[in-house]
Structure 1
Amino acid sequence: MPGRLAIYDDTSFKEDARELIKNDMVINLHARYNIPPTIPIPALLNNGNYLYTHFGYLPSWASSKNSMNINARSESIYEKKTFRDSFKYRRCIIPINGFYEWRVEEKEKTPFLVSDMNKEYMALAGIWDEYFDSELNMNIVTVALITCDANEKLGEIHHRMPVVLDKKDFNTWLHCDDIKKVNELFTIYPNEKLKLYEVRNEVNKVAFDEASCLDEVIPKKEEENEPKEIGQLSLF
């Protein structure tokens, strides 16, 4: 259940989705490395608009923001009143460069960055709706990520992960009316495509949003802490 995202380069996604983007409102992406819910994230809607959206889904009929969802389970999305109409009519693609999950051991939480092993981005399946924000006095587009079971590699840390779309499935996800075919896209991302490594503890802080969030933490080997043997000294 990714609650933090890294989105700092959408160049490759725009190239792969260029035939689907009718109106590019994200001309210059604002790089972010530790995005929590409620912060704007880019999404390509099935109406062709590529724009910034509210990270946290609210159906148009929601009475308040207290009912916000950042994820929708693929197994039950069609059964839930909250998500059903958006799943049928308002699907989107959310391009990210990575997301964070945490390994929890006793009371200690260790952050890990999850990304694609070979590509510069991951295209996440999402849904969207328009919600009237009384504070802003305007309609806003809100989105949620769709999740499935985690693969074995990520499953050692967390049991859920986002649904990741292949480029060849972009058009089907956005425009296919056959729900059975759409459901076939809810597959678990293969282990060999997933990159996973530990990152610095500062990622735990929502306010920490620097490129160093992406830096890998190399665990110290036990032998590095052991005293080294001193060989025979030479006089010459």
Structure 2
Amino acid sequence: MDAVDWCALLTVALAAGWLDAVVGGGGLVQVPALMVLLPTAPVATLLGTNKLVAITGTSSAAVTYARRVGLDAPHAFRAGLIGVPTSLLGALTAAWLPQRVFVPVVLVSLLAAAAVGVWSVRGGTGGGGPRFRWPTRWTLTAVGLIGYYSGAVGSGTGVLLVALFTAALGTGFLQGSATAKAVSIGTDLGALALFASLGHVLWATGAAMALANITGGAIGARTAIRRGAGFVRAALLCTVAALVTKLAIDHWA
């Protein structure tokens, strides 16, 4: 990569860390950007590198949320334990799927997760009471499915978890986001372990991006706590639409 590509990757990592902390879904920006800037790398390698970057920014944001908002520790702990093995299974699926099959899957998943993210931002910005509650077993089953998705695709896991917790636990957006960040650490760990064991992580690239991602995550968590997440919706949609369009053109043209 030349200097321009490196600057682009670091800028994307910073923006992804900020977005992930504010509304979730930093991978919606980071994964397609990696595909555009590193077109010759296997998709599994890009997903593994994304996990390395994501876990650092998510951890930074989780600490900030836990200190300033509080954390639903019992639910986060149980859900995180479920997320580790299920995300590992998802990563195993991603590692063995042919790239010609997996790129369209990623594109569709990006758009679907972005749509859920917009819904969660609209529905969960307040701090009010529950709209409805799910039995814990169904909540944890949903976490397992999201964990598998996290390992297999990785993009938009945060927004799916925020949507789940705001609906199932009746939390406000900030409380649901704090729980989602803690659970995301577990899903990222499981997938990263599998990708690393198969050699699907660009360690030097990921480490450089991780520093930018940590910075973005710390700034984003403070932004969300101070201003809420409603203002992010338009930026999220525009960014994802532009990146998915570019990725689709490169893949099919």
TM-score (norm 2): 0.25
Q: Which has the higher strand share?
A: 1
TM-score (norm 1): 0.26
